[in-house]
Amino acid sequence: MKQFPNAAVALLAPNLASHPEKTALITDRCAMTYRLLDDMSNRFAAMLRDSGIAVGERVIFAAGDSAFYFIALLGCLKRGAVPVLTNPALSPDEYRYIMRDSMAVSLVTESCEAPAFQAISTCLRTILMLDDPCFQSAIASAPTDTAPHVPAADEIAFILYSSGSTGSPKGVPHRHGDLPASADAYAGTVLGMNGSDVVFSASKLFFAYGLGNSFSFPLRFGATVVLFSGKPDPADILRIVEKFGVTIFFGVPSAYNMLLKTLKTVTPLASVRLCVSAGEPLPAPIYQEWKQTTGIELIDGIGSTEAMHIYISNRPGDARPGTAGRIIPPFETRIVDDEGRPAKPGTPGHLHVRGPSIAPFYLNLPEKTAQTMLPGGWLNTGDVFIQEGGWHTFLGRSDEMFKVDAQWVSPARVESVLLEHEAVLECAVSWRKVESLVRPIAYVVLKEGYEPKRMLERELRRFTVGKLPAYMCPVQVDWVDELPKTDTGKIQRVMLRRAC
């Protein structure tokens, strides 16, 4: 059977050979060199071995980003156990589901107050508390002589769980090779990441976007990563960027929008050479305001949990606001109609992608796997796109697009126009039946100083006329204090429809 380098070894070994004493990781509490990261992760692998965790067994991770989380993740990969990365804010019921679905035998968490701890069942054999002084003492005294597991090429290395916004969370397994492959394609080719970079991601390690940003990317290119355990607000982001001299910042569109509303001076961003946006399409008005305000390039791209990271992106010095950009080699894309035939250029269609880091299947979901992981290695992304001259424009999720008078409405396109208005802080577009007919509805969060009056609603509706086809213009504006979002920053439009 063909073998493949262990992901942890592939990411760490070049750094250990060339700069073992370079700082690999920084938190508000500590800093760790590449040598120390390797040593501590070897000890964690030995702890797993000595506690009876076998190669291939699943270990649930339910904790905030921290140095010990990082060490445990590397150690798990070295042991050949399979880390199952989850959002620590899930409910106990969601954790019970994931524990059963993944057949986990161990839990890595932070405290007995955590929802994951409350969901513990008899199937778990070991529980490791990262914040427990006993755990930290145990890892410090563990042996370092563990030989890393050498996996088969198609062996599962780790499992991510999708947000499950429209149903139960889906387990998305990835192989050892997916981490360096996605890092080479995006961080190396598009961002030009290197050993002088200091990176910080507002998105967390449990999220595919954050896992690449904070784990595989900096390790692959010998950079330094800054970790923050909580959910950073704009003040946290600016403090961290300035304190640690961050050169590449990763966020989601809503983070950039909020930063623009709170940014009083660009001084905290003086060290930043690139900003990256993903998780949701970046509206052109936010891109333009960010570039004008800060002078820093904001690179938008699109990826997915199933593909591990970004596969379509704008490039530094070559960006088209309002588009997701161009395909990143060696990934390939095709756009097809409802029957699976190639769509004509400039015609909306379903985006399929294939490349070196596509998940092979969904865990325990053969029917969903057959619908999504297609013959020939293609992934049905569930996104609707237009492709013209190599540039890809996102129109919406297949399950969020809707027809008005037999014509497709793109929520993303309408939202981008609404965000051009000076009163709009955030917005989302969905649909509602008006006199038995489907019509576009806009949900708007206003900026400070504006009041939700009937006159402003009429003004916003008039604002879209001429900028959009008539069938896309919202017939009604609903004022909301905030938009429902997942913990990864994605707007939950389905929740807005349910509230109608």
Query: In this structure, are residues 77 and 157 in contact, taking their beta carbons and an 8 Å threshold?
Result: yes
Residues in the chain: 500
* pLDDT mean over 257-267: 92
Give the separation between CA 313 and CA 186, rounded to whole angstroms: 9
Mean per-residue pLDDT over the chain, rounded: 91
Query: In this structure, are residues 464 and 424 in contact, taking their beta carbons and an 8 Å threshold?
Result: no
pLDDT for 408 equals: 79
pLDDT for 165 equals: 44
Residues 6 or more apart whose Cβ sits within 8 Å of residue 390: 326, 327
Give the separation between CA 194 and CA 15, rounded to whole angstroms: 12
Residues 327-351 have pLDDT tens digits of 999 999 999 988 889 998 888 899 9
Q: Is the pLDDT of residue 267 over 90?
A: yes
Q: What percent of the chain has pLDDT over 70?
A: 96
> Residue 300's CB: how many other CB atoms inside 10 A?
29
Query: Side-chain half-sphere of 425: how many Cα atoms within 13 Å?
Result: 19
Give the separation between CA 259 and CA 105, rounded to whole angstroms: 41
* pLDDT mean over 148-157: 94
- Alpha-helical segments (H) within 183-275: 208-211, 217-220, 234-244, 253-262
**Cα→Cα distances 165→126, 252, 332, 484, Å:** 30, 18, 28, 11
Amino acid at 418: L
Confidence of residue 358 (pLDDT cuts 50, 70, 90): very high
Amino acid at 324: A
* pLDDT mean over 219-244: 96
* pLDDT mean over 305-316: 97
**Cα→Cα distances 323→3, 99, 285, 300, 362, Å:** 39, 39, 12, 8, 29
Cis before residue 151, ω within 30 degrees of 0? no
pLDDT for 162 equals: 82
Give the separation between CA 86 and CA 94, rounded to whole angstroms: 10
Residues 51-67 have pLDDT tens digits of 999 999 999 999 999 99
Residues 445-500 have pLDDT tens digits of 999 999 999 999 999 999 998 788 888 999 999 999 999 887 767 788 777 776 55
Q: 4 or 159: which carries more pLDDT confidence?
A: 159
**DSSP letter assigned to residue 56:** T
pTM: 0.86
Give the separation between CA 372 and CA 458, rounded to whole angstroms: 42
Positive or negative torsion for Cα 288, 289, 290, 295: positive
pLDDT for 494 equals: 73
The DSSP element (H or E) to which 457 belongs, if any, is helix 454-464
